[in-house]
Amino acid sequence: MSIKKFIYKLFSIKVVHAHCDVPCGIYDPISAKIAAQTVLKMAIRMEAVELPPKDISTPNSMARYIAVKEEHAQIVKNELNILWSDYFKPEHLEKYPDLHTHFWNAMKAASKVRQEINKAAAEDLLASVKEISKIFWDTKGVKTVENDSHQTGGGSLIYTA
């Protein structure tokens, strides 16, 4: 092989096709699930706070609960946006025509839990993330099971089988 052909081959650009920003196999809804669980735990703790506070540390604790709730609601949104924009493909929409609705509901629930102290909205958020998780794993052909979360907020989560 001539030097010219070698250099051309070494530096030639090849067209490749991919449906995501990075190699497949790194996507997982687990971060969104953990963040949604955290939001629910914070909502439960905030709803349990007695007003007026009997303990001098209560306002500080409440401020921390709010900060954690806000941060984790945003994590849910960020993680779901990554799945939505980078992982899911048109063929997934064909199989799951309500996929848009699941993401819409999750994003709206994440916004609602940021706006107020609302355990029901936090439960809706976790339920939406669970539905997206089921769909995600099904698109990968992975069986899932729903088991008790063993968390303060109760409920169940989707686990790979």
Q: 126 lies in a domain? A: yes
The pLDDT of residue 148 is above 90: no
| Within-domain flag for 61 | yes
Asked if 116 and 130 count as a contact pair (C-beta separation under 8 A), the reply is no
Q: Which residue in 93, 119, 18, 71 sits closest to 63, CA to CA?
A: 71
In a domain, 1, yes or no: no
Q: Is the pLDDT of residue 127 over 70?
A: yes
Residue 6: inside a domain = no
Domain-located, residue 16: no
The range of the structural domain enclosing residue 114 comes to: 25-160
Average pLDDT value for residue range 90-96? 95
Count of structural domains within the chain:
1
**pTM of the entire predicted model:** 0.80
* Closest C-alpha to 46, from 38, 31, 36: 38
Express each pLDDT in 1-55 by its tens digit.
677 677 667 676 555 555 555 555 688 999 999 999 999 999 999 999 988 888 8
Residue 121 is assigned to a structural domain of this protein: yes
Residue 141 lies in a domain: yes
**Any domain includes 14:** no
Hey, what amino acid is at 6?
F
* 46-83 tens-digit pLDDT: 999 988 888 888 889 999 999 999 999 999 999 999 99
Q: What is the CATH number of the domain that holds 118?
A: 1.20.120.400
Q: Is 150 left (phi over 0), alpha (psi -120 to 50) or beta?
A: left
